[in-house]
Structure 1
């Protein structure tokens, strides 16, 4: 009898712990082959399960150890671009359809429907308020109607979806809503002042998703005075916002800090604000990454900073006619072209002679060709057939200092520099080199 009772208890326990599934359909089916599920945590992604996508369909039976929370479903590379985030609460079976053109449609999961429906509706209402200001409207009745819609939406979703994962995001997303009419300047000032009021930055669930990092980005790059007219002013105001944000996350998990600052660093780069990138890396991101034992990220950012558009190229040296030559001290030219190649690379042996011929008439261009080689024997023979190029050699090939400094992962690799030896572009082929030099 005791054995029977224990068996029943065990059976009931297993039944209670039984895990759900995440399944769905992708379209067009031919573009999807596999899917990897990661649990999102404050310190980053944690692998959960993977599966094949067959004829556009997949089904993931989640592991018994899977925790309730946000999950990232990666379906292509690079993984930080091609993914879908869903809530998995260990109760519902999550199903969805995903179309490359039409996006995501939840077909089964009340919680995910609530989550997506709320953010869709509140975004539309917030856009209406911004549009009111942008169009210079004056109707107080319309203004108050927009405020009432925002308040009603927020209150309704907060009240109806308590004790769900979605509720935490809905509540944290509560933003500033005026109680009466405010002009644009006053509204923006108050919106900025109250930006962090409800964000619940210490909540591990919120730290795990993109929600907080997106909120930080919005504050740092959008909560700005309306009268900015110079880049110097922009940089100054963005850095002020960065300092406020950094204070808010100082005691959060290191992995979360790294993700937050890295996101801000990338957005600054996308907007061409190198000064802000350098500030973030020097004052926050590098320290957090090293403390989190992420030397790889530090190396990647340092390399990206070296090679970004507008940065002066690292130096390259070589010998010609018994004298030491240098990129940074060579005679002036309108442009400089750096070519990283190898005498054992078939693409190089095809492209470089063609490029050499195409550039024969370019009088105000200097070409420095760096051979990534295991030895100098073949390099000497091939480089001699390209006499108008300046030739440097990097023994050690992929492990050479030049390969690491310039981040060379394949040959040939090209960089075009301006007259001050600053990076202008990174053409993909010899034909692109010629096209860009002509434009």
Structure 2
């Protein structure tokens, strides 16, 4: 976690006409410096206000123009990891305590209390139903009691809080509950069939939050047959679920479709499901992103796919001793190391000589160093001091073809390839390169 400080903010708070507030305490105080509030909208996060956290305490004075809805309070970077989501209904101030170990406690705001109480209770009851099945329990009385508890919780919260923003989430979260005993196979089949029944995908507040995208992810990666035995079978079934989900949201705004599909793509990436990533992108996400004028996302995904662990590296060519050489046609080795550097980069001038010393006698390894340069004058001088490397040059630096193809954003950047020239690892430093090769 990297705390946000006032020095790294590009935004300033000029909210004179405040009408409500979100306040609270963070602990331990030393770990929190600044807080930024964003309204969650179908097209992404919209900046609202920000404030310093002083000795663990803060108060966000919400602007008069702030809309009722779900707000994301970012307290560190990366922003998609370190945040708290709260409901701001413009009727009540929100107060809470947040502790890195114990999490969030709402101290003022009935609506946020209802919201968290509902999800706590319904999740616990759903877990009891799953535990019933997992333990092989055959008590029909206990089964009936669990179903009754599920229905009571859902009905009571829907009826009691019908006019609240929280109600949108509570109602949309209504899931399948059997009317009588069902074995596990039947229950899972019916649960999957009714997964989308109560999801109001056209509600902008639900679209802005993580609620719907989490529901889609749960369906895609969890609503699967129990008899799957291979990764190939698993990915086929996941792709079927993706197709169903994409069809379900096809009438929603392109911005929301991109958000939902990109979330599924990222989950597949974390789980190293390359064919699922490609299926999502080629069949659904690319089209939605282009329709939403998001060429940047398309480019980022194409680079990520090209450099994916297990993918064959794009080719690199260079000249040496009057001959042309190529990464993809060079002689067999146990591993290959690609180094993207620059002769004007201070980190490179520190790391590369050390790496050269560590690896010059390393058996079974071939090294290709690609200089991202404005010209070849200094590059020739420095590369000559690293004779164990094969040297290629990419004039144009960040705009060069190699920089674009390999998505280079800083130097030095390292890639380790296996004997088939497939991406094996992406170390962050020369020390990590050596450590990986030695282990």
CA contact (8 A) 1:418 1:424 kept: yes
Paired with 2:27 and 2:362, the residues of 1 have a C-alpha distance of: 49
Paired with 2:371 and 2:232, the residues of 1 have a C-alpha distance of: 41
Residue 187 (structure 2) aligns with:
187
CA contact (8 A) 2:18 2:61 kept: no
Paired with 2:75 and 2:402, the residues of 1 have a C-alpha distance of: 35
Q: How does 1:107-256 map to 2 (within 5 A)?
A: 107-256=107-256
Q: Deviations over 1:17-42 (max 9, x none)?
A: 97211111111111111111111111
Paired with 1:128 and 1:120, the residues of 2 have a C-alpha distance of: 13
What secondary structure sits across from 1:20 in the alignment? strand
Paired with 1:281 and 1:271, the residues of 2 have a C-alpha distance of: 16
Residue 8 (structure 2) aligns with:
none
CA contact (8 A) 1:68 1:88 kept: yes
Q: Deviations over 1:370-390 (max 9, x none)?
A: 111121111111111111110
Q: How far apart are residue 354 of structure 1 and its match?
A: 1.6
Q: Report the count of equivalent residues.
A: 423
Residue 259 (structure 2) aligns with:
259
Paired with 1:297 and 1:344, the residues of 2 have a C-alpha distance of: 30
What secondary structure sits across from 1:45 in the alignment? strand
Q: Deviations over 1:275-303 (max 9, x none)?
A: 01001111111111111111111111111
Residue 365 (structure 2) aligns with:
365
CA contact (8 A) 2:18 2:62 kept: no
| Residues 308-317 or 342-351, more deviating | 342-351
Paired with 2:100 and 2:314, the residues of 1 have a C-alpha distance of: 41
Residue 338 (structure 1) aligns with:
338
Paired with 2:135 and 2:345, the residues of 1 have a C-alpha distance of: 59
Paired with 1:346 and 1:271, the residues of 2 have a C-alpha distance of: 36
What secondary structure sits across from 1:180 in the alignment? coil
Paired with 2:128 and 2:416, the residues of 1 have a C-alpha distance of: 45
What secondary structure sits across from 1:214 in the alignment? helix
Q: How does 1:20-419 map to 2 (within 5 A)?
A: 20-419=20-419
Give the alignment's TM-score, normalised by structure 1: 0.94
Q: How far apart are residue 193 of structure 1 and its match?
A: 0.5
Paired with 2:103 and 2:181, the residues of 1 have a C-alpha distance of: 36
Q: Which has the larger radius of gyration?
A: 1
What secondary structure sits across from 1:175 in the alignment? coil
Change (3 A) 1:37 1:18: closer
Q: Deviations over 1:366-408 (max 9, x none)?
A: 1000111121111111111111110001112222221222122
Q: Deviations over 1:135-171 (max 9, x none)?
A: 2222222222211111111111111111000011101
Paired with 1:390 and 1:84, the residues of 2 have a C-alpha distance of: 49
Paired with 2:362 and 2:136, the residues of 1 have a C-alpha distance of: 54
CA contact (8 A) 1:313 1:422 kept: yes
What secondary structure sits across from 1:428 in the alignment? coil
Q: Deviations over 1:168-203 (max 9, x none)?
A: 110110001111111111110000001011111122
Paired with 1:222 and 1:122, the residues of 2 have a C-alpha distance of: 19
Q: How far apart are residue 350 of structure 1 and its match?
A: 2.0
Q: What is the CA RMSD across the aligned residues, in angstroms?
A: 1.2
CA contact (8 A) 1:175 1:195 kept: yes
What secondary structure sits across from 2:78 in the alignment? coil
What secondary structure sits across from 2:187 in the alignment? helix
Q: How far apart are residue 74 of structure 1 and its match?
A: 1.1
Q: Tell me, yes or no, if structure 1 residue 431 matches structure 2 residue 404.
A: no
What secondary structure sits across from 1:196 in the alignment? coil
Paired with 1:141 and 1:321, the residues of 2 have a C-alpha distance of: 84
CA contact (8 A) 1:19 1:91 kept: no
Give the alignment's TM-score, normalised by structure 2: 0.94
Paired with 2:310 and 2:398, the residues of 1 have a C-alpha distance of: 25
